[in-house]
Amino acid sequence: MSFTDKHVVVTGGTGALGTSVVGSLLQQGAHCVVPYVHDAELQMFPHRGQAHVGLVPVRNLADEGDVARVYEAAGAPLWASIHIAGGFAMGKVADTDKSALMAQLDSNLISCFLCCRAAVRVMQGEGRIVNVAARPALEPRAGAGMSAYTIAKGGIAALTVALAEEVAKDGILVNAVAPSIMDTPANRAAMPKADHATWPKVEEVAATILFLASHDNRVTRGAIVPVYGKA
């Protein structure tokens, strides 16, 4: 795979999975635009300062103005847009109010929708979009106790399939990955007694994302790819 001189937006690029995706893209010659919300994220981001990394401060990727600024910074033509940004919250339906529901929809589904919208508007003739859903999007029973999150990620899965059909004739291939719990320091700290060896590693999930976003992917569209590892 080569991304030489290809322009790629990576939302959530300063997180554990995003950092791995951006690092792999840079190794393959890409120019990456990475929005970030908190200065603390920026200070910990290992790829800051690199010539092929453009960092764009935003307040909220569920805001159309902030999203527009990200894609203006990406330059043209945009080859790929990878949407990792999102949020997670546990909560039974009985304990989840409208504010908590909307927070999950905004951070996951709305941000993904707006970034997809911006991406297809600036892609010229060919491109790739990769969204990040989650295992409960494919297995809603696993979403018990986290219904708002499951709804939001399920919406991303539906958006992926519908948009893939909508833009296929424009040469844009749209897919998503659906990770199970990934092996990150934060997840290990939250679940110290879990069998961490079964969790997919971020670099393994990143490899699937890179293929879907690459020119080597010539035919796959509308797929929600499970990336569960042994879990």
Q: In CATH, what number is assigned to the domain containing residue 130? A: 3.40.50.720
Examine the pLDDT at 91 and tell me if it is beyond 90: yes
Active site residue 149: yes
* Other Cβ atoms within 10 Å of 102 Cβ, number: 14
pLDDT range class, residue 120, cuts 50, 70, 90: very high
Q: List pLDDT tens digits, range 33-78.
A: 999 999 999 999 999 999 999 999 999 999 999 999 999 999 879 9
What pLDDT shows up at residue 57? 97
The per-residue pLDDT of the chain, averaged, comes to 96
Question: Can you give the residue range of the structural domain that contains 21?
Answer: 7-223
The pLDDT of 28-35, averaged and rounded, is 97
Q: List pLDDT tens digits, range 130-149.
A: 999 999 999 999 999 999 99
Examine the pLDDT at 1 and tell me if it is beyond 80: no
Q: Is residue 132 part of a domain?
A: yes
Q: Is residue 231 part of a domain?
A: no
What is the distance between the alpha carbons of residues 230 and 77, in angstroms, rounded to a whole number?
Answer: 38
Q: Is residue 1 part of a domain?
A: no
What pLDDT shows up at residue 75? 80
Examine the pLDDT at 4 and tell me if it is beyond 80: yes
Q: Is residue 57 part of a domain?
A: yes
Task: Give the total number of structural domains in the chain.
Answer: 1
Q: Is residue 230 part of a domain?
A: no
Q: Is residue 111 part of a domain?
A: yes
What pLDDT shows up at residue 125? 87
Q: List pLDDT tens digits, range 184-220.
A: 988 999 999 999 999 999 999 999 999 999 999 999 9
What pLDDT shows up at residue 231? 83
Considering the candidates 36, 71, 149, 228, report the single residue annotated as catalytic: 149
Q: Is residue 212 part of a domain?
A: yes
Q: Is residue 107 part of a domain?
A: yes
